[in-house]
């Protein structure tokens, strides 16, 4: 490449490195806040994080960054750049454009309104009283509608908000996929009903020593391939994965004595996110490419390990003897085969985060439809509780007894995360599509899982998904790996096979 371009790109890279370092520092503070920080530090910590985030915003939107991008793009010198450099430039420009479009006072207003709303949401949920949250939510909906206007869109303002989490995804593309997914799910729920099988998972909610649970879960993710030299595991109220760099990935989990699922599946899930981060090409370190390409693709990686692997019969044939030896008094009478069925019980329930693989998507479709109506002004804030309950009855056949287990259950709306929910179902659909493609390349993978060998699986994901970081968009990845755009077919095929195993004893 030309030496001027070379110099300009180096300057560009040095700017993005500073931004990446500040972002990592902010994440360390955020991680610490959720894990080890004493309660008394809360106020000072909020200021520290706000200061760093303001610095990041200033650098992103600075004229200097703008000129560097312009120089690299507009004078044609981009032709001299390599593929990854062009991708880094594209990613940075995309994020910069989104930041530049928002006036400073709007960003401040949004931050103030959402921080107040989170407090009122907590109170409203604990008292199960929507009226406590009502005014704050009305303000947030108004802010999100303005947010969409600032960002711009072609057909639907909700597209602009979805794009923040899933670049390029649109309501027009999602709606028919979700409609078919909903129809397929209803058919499969009938099929489960008709099996007449009644599998009790009550044993999972008895009594399991927390430290034994944690050490078992740690051993499992080590076997799966999470790298403890470049990562670690701590405890927090809500499990998450934070990355301060490709070689520093932090997972958290929680342990409930009376719920065997939470720690194990939670940690496998977070390790899936973590292995994605650890698998990004090291050359992308401290550049705009050193991150997962979208929320949906990120979620596909966690769900791939949690569900396709961690909830498979083969996995439990391998892992069960060890779990059983940890908890002989609870599990000695239960076989690996039965345990596989127990962790795959599928039935309608009120709370999204506790839902099974199949009915989970119905919770998302409900939120997607309500958000679309709210952002388009077709629904008023006061209509939310009733709309929620009506849809729960219609889609899942159950009605929340109160708003705490209805429209107040999720934190997302209180922080203005409208547009986020679809990512969860996208993750399920992408994971199943990738799984289908993987089956062709690794026909022996079942036997490998049964032997506790996960290396080929991880290498496949590394090669196809992880190493690219943000260098490929979600649509590019799906097309290249699966040869087709997003669809619900692979998921429905995958889950029907599991239903046949769990409810019809087919192997």
Instruction: Provide the binding-site residues for Zn ion, judged by CB under 5 A.
Output: 302
Minimum CB distance to Zn ion smaller for 136 or for 302: 302
Burial of 79 (0-12, 13-18, 19+ CB in 10 A): exposed
Is 252 strand, coil or helix?
strand
Residue from 91, 270, 277, 357 carrying the catalytic annotation: 270
Beta-bridged to residue 253, according to DSSP, are: 235
| Closest residue by Cα to residue 195 from 345, 309, 317 | 345
**Cβ of residue 273: shortest distance to Zn ion, in angstroms?**
6
Minimum CB distance to Zn ion smaller for 302 or for 478: 302
**Cβ of residue 288: shortest distance to Zn ion, in angstroms?**
22
Minimum CB distance to Zn ion smaller for 85 or for 252: 252
Give the integer Cα–Cα distance in Å for 490 and 497.
Answer: 11
Minimum CB distance to Zn ion smaller for 13 or for 251: 251
For 252, phi and psi rounded to 5 degrees? -130, 155
Torsion of CA 40, 44, 46, 49, to 10 degrees: -130
Minimum CB distance to Zn ion smaller for 20 or for 302: 302
The full length of the chain comes to 507
Rounded to a whole number of angstroms, the CA Rg of the chain reads: 23
Farthest CA pair distance, the chain: 72
204 near 342, Cβ under 8 Å? yes
- Report the relative pairing of strands 241-245 and 248-253 from DSSP bridges: antiparallel
Minimum CB distance to Zn ion smaller for 287 or for 302: 302
Burial of 505 (0-12, 13-18, 19+ CB in 10 A): exposed
**Cβ of residue 305: shortest distance to Zn ion, in angstroms?**
11
The two structure tokens encoding residue 199: 């599998």
| Closest residue by Cα to residue 312 from 502, 166, 82 | 502
Strands (E), 166-213: none
Sole residue written with tokens 């990446």: 20
- Known catalytic residue at 277: no
Q: What is the DSSP letter of 308?
A: I
Give the integer Cα–Cα distance in Å for 397 and 383.
Answer: 20
Give the integer Cα–Cα distance in Å for 385 and 383.
Answer: 6
**Cβ of residue 302: shortest distance to Zn ion, in angstroms?**
4
Minimum CB distance to Zn ion smaller for 302 or for 361: 302
**Cβ of residue 423: shortest distance to Zn ion, in angstroms?**
9
Is 233 strand, coil or helix?
strand
**Cβ of residue 148: shortest distance to Zn ion, in angstroms?**
25
**Cβ of residue 222: shortest distance to Zn ion, in angstroms?**
20
360 near 352, Cβ under 8 Å? yes
Minimum CB distance to Zn ion smaller for 302 or for 312: 302
**Cβ of residue 81: shortest distance to Zn ion, in angstroms?**
33
Q: Residue with the closest Cβ to Zn ion?
A: 302
| Residues annotated as part of the active site | 270
């Amino acid at each position: 490449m030309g030496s001027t371009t070379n110099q300009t790109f180096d300057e560009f890279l040095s700017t993005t490195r500073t931004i990446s370092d500040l972002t990592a520092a902010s994440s360390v503070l955020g991680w610490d806040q959720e894990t080890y920080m004493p309660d008394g530090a809360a106020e000072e910590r909020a200021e520290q994080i706000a200061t760093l985030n303001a610095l990041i915003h200033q650098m992103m939107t600075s004229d200097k960054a703008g000129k560097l991008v312009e120089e690299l793009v507009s004078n044609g010198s981009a032709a001299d750049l390599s593929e990854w450099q062009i991708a880094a430039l594209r990613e940075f420009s995309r994020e910069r454009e989104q930041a530049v479009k928002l006036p400073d006072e709007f960003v401040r207003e949004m931050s103030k309104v959402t921080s107040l709303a989170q407090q009122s949401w907590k109170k409203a949920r604990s008292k199960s009283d929507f009226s406590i949250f009502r005014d704050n939510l009305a303000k947030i909906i108004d802010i999100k509608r303005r947010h969409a206007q600032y960002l711009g869109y072609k057909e639907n303002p909700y597209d602009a908000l979805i794009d923040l989490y899933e670049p390029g995804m649109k309501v027009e593309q999602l709606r028919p996929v979700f409609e078919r997914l909903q129809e397929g799910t209803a058919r499969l729920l009938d099929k489960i009903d008709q099996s007449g099988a009644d599998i009790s998972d009550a044993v999972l909610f008895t009594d399991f020593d927390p430290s034994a649970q944690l050490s078992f879960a740690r051993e499992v993710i080590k076997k799966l391939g999470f790298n403890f030299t470049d990562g670690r595991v701590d405890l927090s109220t809500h499990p998450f994965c934070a990355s301060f760099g490709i070689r520093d990935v932090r997972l958290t989990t929680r342990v409930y004595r009376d719920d065997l699922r939470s720690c194990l599946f939670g940690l496998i899930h977070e390790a899936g996110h973590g292995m994605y981060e650890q698998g990004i090409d090291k050359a992308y370190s401290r550049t705009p490419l050193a991150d997962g390409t979208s929320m949906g693709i990120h979620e596909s990686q966690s769900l791939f390990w949690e569900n396709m692997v961690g909830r498979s019969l083969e996995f439990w044939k391998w892992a069960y003897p060890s779990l059983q030896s940890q908890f002989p008094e609870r599990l000695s009478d239960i076989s690996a085969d039965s345990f596989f069925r127990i962790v795959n019980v599928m039935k309608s329930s009120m709370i999204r985060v506790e839902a099974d693989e199949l009915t989970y998507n119905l919770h998302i479709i409900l939120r997607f439809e309500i958000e679309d109506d709210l952002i388009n002004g077709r629904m008023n804030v006061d209509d939310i509780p009733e709309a929620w309950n009506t849809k729960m009855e219609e889609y899942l056949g159950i009605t929340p007894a109160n708003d705490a287990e209805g429209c107040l259950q999720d934190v997302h709306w209180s922080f203005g995360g409208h547009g986020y929910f679809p990512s969860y179902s996208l993750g399920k659909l992408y994971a199943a599509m990738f799984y289908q493609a993987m089956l062709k390349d690794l026909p022996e993978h079942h036997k490998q899982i049964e032997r506790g060998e996960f290396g080929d699986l991880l290498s496949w994901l590394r090669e196809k998904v992880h190493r690219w970081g943000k260098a490929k968009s979600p649509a590019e990845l799906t097309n290249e790996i699966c040869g087709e755009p997003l669809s619900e077919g692979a998921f429905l095929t995958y889950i029907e096979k599991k239903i046949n195993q769990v409810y019809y004893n087919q192997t």
